[in-house]
């Protein structure tokens, strides 16, 4: 995408099995996302913002990969995700309003793009795994919890994003066709 982002967040993570992601915006801390594991399996995450409501990410029961849901500490559901297969490298995200798709960024490199029906790419997450950093760029109006959820999902399968992703025009036309 060639346009300028309307909002940029930076993330720095540390830890191998249960990483801790410190998210900032223009140098100011936004919050900390901690990944939770049980017996080696990622079971969720917890985001503690500097201000505002704590967000919880929980693994939903089932065998599908990237099957998680996003909740507030007041037990309000904000979204869910589903990844049908590892081969497609696509994660479907629903927030109740419209479906989103998380796909590898165009070209070679580590990162994910969040696409909405009709409007195309809403956000892009570009990572540098050897440095333990990521940049979250928002191109269209997007709720922060949805961006955070996408980042959490993309971080779990970051290495799968290295190969080139689909062409943006194909994604946009296919997303528009599925948004009925």
Do residues 111 and 124 touch, judged by C-beta distance below 8 A? yes
Give pTM, 2 decimals.
0.86
CA 94 to CA 91: how far, in whole Å?
10
Going 27 to 68 to 132 to 171, the CA torsion angle's sign is negative
Give the model's pLDDT for residue 180: 43
The predicted model gives 37-46 an average pLDDT of 88
Question: How many residues in total does the chain contain?
Answer: 180
At residue 148, φ and ψ (nearest 5 deg) are: -60, -45
For the domain covering 7-178, report its CATH number.
2.40.160
CA 175 to CA 19: how far, in whole Å?
32
CA 24 to CA 172: how far, in whole Å?
30
Higher pLDDT, 180 or 15: 15
């Amino acid at each position: 995408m060639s346009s300028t982002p309307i909002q940029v967040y930076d993330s720095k993570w540390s830890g191998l099995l249960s990483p801790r992601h410190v998210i900032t915006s223009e140098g100011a801390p936004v919050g900390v996302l901690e990944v939770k594991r049980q017996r080696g399996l990622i079971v969720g995450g917890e985001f503690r913002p500097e201000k505002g409501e704590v967000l919880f990410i929980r693994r939903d029961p089932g065998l599908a990969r990237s099957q998680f849901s996003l909740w507030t500490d007041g037990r309000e559901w904000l979204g869910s995700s589903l990844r049908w297969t590892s081969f497609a490298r696509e994660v479907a995200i629903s927030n109740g309003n419209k479906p989103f798709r998380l796909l590898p960024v165009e070209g070679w490199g580590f990162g994910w793009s969040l696409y909405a029906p009709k409007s195309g790419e809403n956000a892009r997450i570009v990572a540098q795994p050897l440095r333990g950093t990521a940049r979250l760029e928002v191109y269209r109006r997007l709720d922060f919890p949805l961006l955070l959820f996408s980042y959490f999902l993309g971080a779990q399968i970051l290495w799968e994003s290295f190969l080139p992703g689909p062409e943006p025009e194909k994604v946009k036309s296919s997303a528009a066709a599925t948004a009925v």
